[in-house]
Amino acid sequence: MREQQPIAADGSAKLQIREYKESLIINAAADLFYERGFQRTTLDDVAAVLGVTKPFIYTYFKSKHNVLERLVDKVYEDLDVTVRGFQKLEERDPVRRFEHFVSRFIRWNLELRTFTGILLEEEKNLSAQKIADIRSKQHTFDKLLADLVRDGMRAGAFVVDDAAIASLAISGMVRWTHRWYVPNGRLSADDLCDELTRTALHMVGWTSESREAHQDADSRRPAGRRT
């Protein structure tokens, strides 16, 4: 039997600790940026919330702008995880795929409403390079949503004049939930997710009549050929 080799000290524990501390700083800064605005928040304020000194923050971030840009990166890293998870979905029905994607997008925005709110409000404080980066990532997302609308149109389930415009309207509706959603308000996160998903379906022309027609067409297809 081959002798087991000791695990190499690759610094993974140190990396995890560093990432944890960076997350603490980002989360504390996010709350302050959201409540006060980026310009009215200082790194001294962030340090005070965490009970550390400003030099501690400088150990992990070069500046307040660096904290903001890392926060933006986190938003899009999480969005990329959401998109990749959707792309592995086995469901082929275009309506159900659209529902699943929009529902997950809404949930993601609700879970990260502080972060997505900052992204919308504080883009003016980002570098031109970072803005170009997020525009590229947003374009990829918008294209995916527009393609889902087109799939529904080809299946005869959705009726819209312009799939790209419809997808942008849906995206805009969802992104601004941070301005008015109250976690302990009239609607729970689940209720709001269901309501906005239904609204998105109405925005692409999905009606009770089209639902019945789509279900009838789907039931007539051979089992191995259903979309």
| 2 part of a folded domain | no
Is 49 found in the same domain as 122? Answer: no
pLDDT per position as a tens digit, 113-134 = 899 889 888 999 999 999 999 9
Is 43 found in the same domain as 122? Answer: no
Other beta carbons within 10 angstroms of residue 138's beta carbon come to 14
| 5 part of a folded domain | no
> What is the pLDDT at residue 192?
92
Is 210 found in the same domain as 101? Answer: yes
Q: How many helices (H) and strands (E) does the chain have?
A: 10, 0
Residue 150, pLDDT above cutoff 70: yes
Domain region containing 157: 64-221
74 vs 23: CA distance, rounded Å: 10
81: left (phi over 0), alpha (psi -120 to 50) or beta: alpha
Categorize the per-residue pLDDT at 23 as very low, low, confident or very high, splitting at 50, 70 and 90: very high
Is 187 found in the same domain as 130? Answer: yes
pLDDT per position as a tens digit, 157-202 = 999 999 999 999 999 999 888 888 888 888 899 999 999 999 999 9
Q: Is the pTM of this model over 0.85?
A: no
CATH number at residue 26: 1.10.10.60
pLDDT per position as a tens digit, 193-223 = 999 999 999 999 997 666 655 555 555 555 5
- Mean pLDDT confidence for 46-58: 96
Amino acid, single-letter form, for residue 78: D
